[in-house]
């Protein structure tokens, strides 16, 4: 692949940076429209209760209240990512299933009036028995949260490859351990907010979201409106991390209130509401059994993993599968059995996460280290021995087309002197390694692909139209950079129109790690089609061959004689005179098996490609208190080719914070159905003072199908950082962890279990 690129691969300032650092960027809560109303939601005080009746009539009598709604004002259409998981009506008329669930809502002229109106709504409940533990929930006789799901088992994923039991019998060393992890909050800085406006039969909505087209389709179904009458508009997003992936109850609430009142409506959740009443992250209990040969070769894996899914299906099949898939995409498993159960409880809904599955992933890596030690082997060598390589197949039959796993392991371990330090750890100081892979785009039906339209304006500037979404990762700047490379136009001369469902075609959204590999590829194809038209006219005017034309800095020029050139704007105007405006369309679908299904057919090509990464954490433990500090963290990530290395490094650093440091601080605390830490005072997100020194290493494997060789840019670090920390603590204490987060009390118990280790 050629490397004579002008801007791809260069460190450039993101196109959205200035607006965000100056405060000019507008977010949903910043929006104001004439006559806009304030919405507030009445929420369930019970974890499980039958709704006997809802009366909003007294709320409507409060002066200044313009509308009030309940589930009786909706069509009762239930949401679910798949047809077989449609169980969430957003506003219910039958019963509530968790504390904080949306029951009714009002729209008023101001917040004070709206709150007064909420107090006037009368809801008659008949409390029902509730269940909060997934193991209790699965027992016969447990309270049934949804009648159609026996024993409250929402999803059961069963994967069985090879002969697991026979391979375990042949193994030299077999070990089985159970690991737990508390669920986490997305803790994005911007709480959920939505603005809805309904005029002339058309609904416009603004909200931070990861997939505008998925959102529009869901609301079209719920409101029984034609799809072209539901418009999700572009808006900045103050963080996502998986928490903006699906339609939310507030989307429906704001829409119904706007339709009823005939006025724009804004709903902004408080920090506490954001934690209790929007999707959060699964609690996980993972039992992992591994059989190894004497030389460290993994012969068999046997898994049973329980996911606390809360009250509704949400992304159930995907969430129950992803932790296994990102691990099988990293290592060779000739014999593997996976039983994943997503179980309903009377807690808030659980969804996807950018670092989903920490008990499972950290447990696998930490167990691997323990087994390597028992066999007298180096953990680096064990990972290299079992790691997949380009051209190999995963256990569920996905082909690896590019793979920098070995390079990430080697560069990270050499950078940190890992082998020597792991073999001889200092007292209460340790190092740990975590590895993982990530799919780039997975089957989402016809939404798996992306399309782009580009037009060159008569002044030579460019308008790019794509459904691609940016939730803070830098996706918008990335596609502008790709277009700039192909068209030879400065980034400042490219205007991006995106994430607006009425003017853009389908795109997977900021979901399934598809933005670079799928979305940017569609942009590349569209721009290459437009480039061909520019080059054809430029060659004619410059009197050179087509292959001799280059585009750079807004000009077309002769590669052989660079002094022979002309502005691209001249070429564009000539095209207009000919009645052939320079435009381009492009689409890209990853090479995936569309017959693959999360539950019924979990095999076939999962993604067009996979990225790989290795993280190494260094930890110090205070023997008196059990407190962990992290002086340094090193991550190596195979992103194919970094379109903007600075942006990739930023994603890697953010991932170290979100998963690495979070492994010692973050976890939801529950008392029955009550979330005890619903704000950022009690929920301990890492602060700047908690961050380690960070080394970020970019490894380039140049994927053959990626745009300029690119794959996703940093999520492997978010998935393996937990593992690195857990392994480092095991290295420092000589004890295998059992539960995350690794809070001081849990670390002290590890030290107490290790005979002879005292403060």
The H or E element containing residue 212 is helix 212-223
Residues, the chain: 759
pLDDT at 359 (0 to 100): 95
Tell me phi and psi for residue 348, to 5 degrees: -60, 160
- Name the residue among 91, 94, 87, 95 with its Cα closest to residue 103: 91
Are residues 199 and 84 located together in one domain of the fold? Answer: yes
Are residues 650 and 583 located together in one domain of the fold? Answer: no
In sequence order, what are the residues at sequence separation of 6 or more whose Cβ sits closer than 8 angstroms to the Cβ of residue 591? Answer: 605, 608, 705
CATH of the domain at 46: 3.90.1170.50
Are residues 252 and 120 located together in one domain of the fold? Answer: yes
Q: Does 203 map to a domain?
A: yes
Q: Does 143 map to a domain?
A: no
Q: Is 173 left (phi over 0), alpha (psi -120 to 50) or beta?
A: beta
pTM over 0.85: yes
pLDDT at 1 (0 to 100): 39
- Give me the average pLDDT of each 10-residue run along the chain (759 residues): 81 91 93 97 98 98 98 95 93 96 98 98 98 98 96 98 98 98 92 96 95 94 97 92 88 98 98 93 97 98 98 94 97 98 96 88 98 98 98 98 97 98 95 97 85 96 96 93 98 96 91 92 98 98 97 96 96 96 96 94 96 98 96 98 96 93 95 95 93 97 96 93 97 96 96 68
Are residues 293 and 394 located together in one domain of the fold? Answer: yes
Are residues 472 and 559 located together in one domain of the fold? Answer: yes
C-alpha span between 12 and 489 (Å, rounded): 15
Listed in order, strand segments (DSSP E) in 240-279 are 265-268
Are residues 106 and 203 located together in one domain of the fold? Answer: yes
Q: Are strands 102-108 and 283-292 parallel, antiparallel or unpaired?
A: unpaired
Could you tell me if 715 and 440 are in contact, meaning their C-beta atoms sit under 8 angstroms apart? Answer: no
Q: Which domain holds residue 403?
A: 280-443+596-753
Using the 3D structure, point to which of 588, 621, 645 is the last residue of a domain: 588
CB neighbours of residue 104 within 10 Å = 25
Are residues 536 and 584 located together in one domain of the fold? Answer: yes
Are residues 427 and 515 located together in one domain of the fold? Answer: no
Q: Does 39 map to a domain?
A: yes
Are residues 481 and 557 located together in one domain of the fold? Answer: yes
C-alpha span between 151 and 148 (Å, rounded): 9
- Name the residue among 460, 578, 476, 551 with its Cα closest to residue 519: 476
CATH of the domain at 712: 3.30.365.10
Using the 3D structure, point to which of 568, 588, 608 is the last residue of a domain: 588
Q: What is the pLDDT of residues 176-199, one digit of tens each?
A: 999 999 999 998 999 999 999 999
Q: Does 479 map to a domain?
A: yes
Q: Does 150 map to a domain?
A: no
Are residues 268 and 292 located together in one domain of the fold? Answer: no
pLDDT at 759 (0 to 100): 40
For residue 550, give both structure tokens: 């280059």
Using the 3D structure, point to which of 553, 588, 623 is the last residue of a domain: 588
pLDDT at 511 (0 to 100): 82
C-alpha span between 443 and 288 (Å, rounded): 27
Number of domains in the chain: 3
Are residues 649 and 696 located together in one domain of the fold? Answer: yes
DSSP single-letter state for residue 267: E
Q: Are strands 298-310 and 336-344 parallel, antiparallel or unpaired?
A: parallel
Q: Does 161 map to a domain?
A: no
Q: What is the pLDDT of residues 357-399, one digit of tens each?
A: 999 999 999 999 999 999 999 999 999 999 999 999 999 999 9
714: β partners: none
Could you tell me if 424 and 435 are in contact, meaning their C-beta atoms sit under 8 angstroms apart? Answer: no
pLDDT at 353 (0 to 100): 86
- Name the residue among 449, 554, 560 with its Cα closest to residue 509: 449
Q: Does 152 map to a domain?
A: no
Q: Does 158 map to a domain?
A: no
Cα torsion at 19, 23, 27, 33 (round to 10°)?
Answer: -110
Are residues 413 and 468 located together in one domain of the fold? Answer: no
In sequence order, what are the residues at sequence separation of 6 or more whose Cβ sits closer than 8 angstroms to the Cβ of residue 100? Answer: 43, 44, 273, 276, 277, 348, 675
């Amino acid at each position: 692949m050629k490397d004579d690129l002008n801007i791809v691969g260069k460190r450039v300032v993101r196109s959205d940076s200035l607006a965000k650092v100056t405060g000019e960027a507008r977010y949903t809560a910043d929006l104001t429209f004439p006559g806009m109303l304030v919405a507030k939601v009445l929420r369930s005080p019970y974890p499980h209760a039958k709704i006997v009746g809802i009366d909003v009539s007294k709320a409507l009598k409060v002066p200044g209240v313009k509308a009030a709604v309940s589930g009786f004002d909706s069509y009762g259409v239930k949401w679910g990512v798949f047809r077989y998981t449609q169980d969430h009506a957003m506003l219910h008329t039958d019963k509530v299933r968790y504390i904080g669930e949306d029951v009714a809502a009002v729209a008023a002229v101001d917040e004070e009036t709206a709150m007064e109106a909420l107090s006037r709504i009368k809801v008659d409940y008949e409390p029902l028995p509730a269940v909060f533990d997934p193991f209790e929930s699965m027992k016969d006789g447990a309270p049934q949260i949804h009648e159609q799901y026996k024993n409250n088992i929402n999803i059961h994923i069963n994967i069985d490859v090879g002969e697991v039991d026979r391979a375990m019998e042949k193994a030299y060393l077999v070990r089985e351990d159970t690991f737990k992890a508390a669920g986490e909050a997305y803790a994005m800085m911007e709480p959920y907010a939505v603005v809805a406006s309904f005029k002339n039969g058309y609904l416009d909505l603004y909200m931070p979201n990861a997939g505008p087209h998925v959102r529009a389709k869901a609301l079209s179904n719920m409101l029984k409106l034609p799809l072209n009458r539901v418009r999700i508009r572009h808006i900045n997003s103050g963080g996502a991390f998986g928490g903006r992936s699906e339609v939310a109850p507030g989307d429906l609430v704001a829409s119904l209130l706007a339709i009823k009142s005939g006025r724009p409506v804004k709903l902004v959740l408080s920090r506490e509401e954001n934690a209790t009443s929007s999707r959060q992250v699964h609690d996980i209990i993972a039992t992992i059994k591994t059989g190894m040969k004497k030389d460290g070769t993994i012969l068999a894996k046997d898994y049973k993993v329980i996911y606390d899914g809360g009250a509704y299906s949400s992304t159930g099949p995907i969430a129950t599968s992803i932790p296994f898939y990102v691990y099988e995409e990293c290592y060779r498993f000739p014999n593997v059995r996976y039983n994943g159960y997503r179980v309903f409880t009377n807690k808030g809904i659980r969804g996807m996460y950018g670092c989903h599955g920490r008990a499972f992933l950290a447990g696998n890596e930490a167990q691997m280290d323990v087994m390597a030690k028992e066999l007298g082997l180096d953990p680096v060598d064990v990972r290299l021995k079992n790691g997949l390589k380009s051209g190999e197949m995963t256990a569920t039959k996905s082909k690896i087309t590019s793979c920098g796993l070995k390079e990430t392991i080697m560069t990270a371990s050499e950078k940190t002197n890992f082998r020597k330090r792991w073999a001889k750890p200092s007292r209460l100081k340790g190092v740990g390694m975590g590895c993982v892979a990530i799919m780039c785009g997975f089957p989402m039906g016809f939404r798996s692909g992306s399309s782009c339209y580009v037009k060159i304006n008569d002044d030579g500037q460019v308008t790019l139209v794509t459904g691609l979404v940016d939730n803070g990762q830098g996706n918008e700047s990335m596609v502008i950079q790709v277009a700039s490379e192909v068209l030879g136009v400065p980034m400042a001369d490219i205007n991006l129109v995106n994430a607006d469902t009425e003017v853009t075609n389908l795109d997977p959204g900021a979901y399934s790690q598809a933005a670079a590999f799928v979305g940017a590829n569609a942009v590349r194809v569209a721009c290459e089609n437009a480039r061909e038209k520019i080059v054809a006219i430029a060659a004619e005017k410059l009197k050179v061959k087509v292959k001799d034309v280059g585009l750079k800095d807004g000009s077309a020029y002769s590669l052989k004689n660079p002094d022979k050139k002309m502005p691209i704007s001249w070429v564009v105007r000539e095209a207009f005179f000919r009645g052939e405006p320079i435009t381009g369309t492009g689409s890209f679908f990853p090479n995936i098996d569309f017959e693959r299904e999360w539950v019924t057919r979990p095999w076939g090509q999962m993604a067009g490609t996979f990225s790989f990464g290795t993280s190494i954490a260094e930890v110090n433990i205070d023997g008196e208190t059990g407190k962990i500090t992290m002086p340094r963290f090193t991550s190596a990530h195979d992103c194919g080719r970094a379109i903007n290395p600075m942006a990739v490094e930023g994603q890697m650093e953010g991932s170290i914070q979100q998963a690495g440091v979070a492994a010692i601080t973050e976890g939801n605390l529950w008392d029955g159905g009550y979330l005890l830490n619903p704000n950022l005072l009690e929920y301990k997100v890492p602060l700047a003072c908690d961050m380690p020194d960070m080394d970020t290493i970019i490894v380039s494997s140049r994927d053959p199908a990626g745009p300029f060789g690119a794959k996703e840019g940093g999520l492997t670090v978010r998935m393996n950082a937990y593992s690195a920390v857990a392994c480092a603590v095991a290295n420092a204490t000589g004890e295998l962890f059992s539960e995350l987060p690794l809070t001081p009390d849990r670390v002290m118990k590890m030290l107490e279990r290790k005979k002879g280790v005292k403060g």
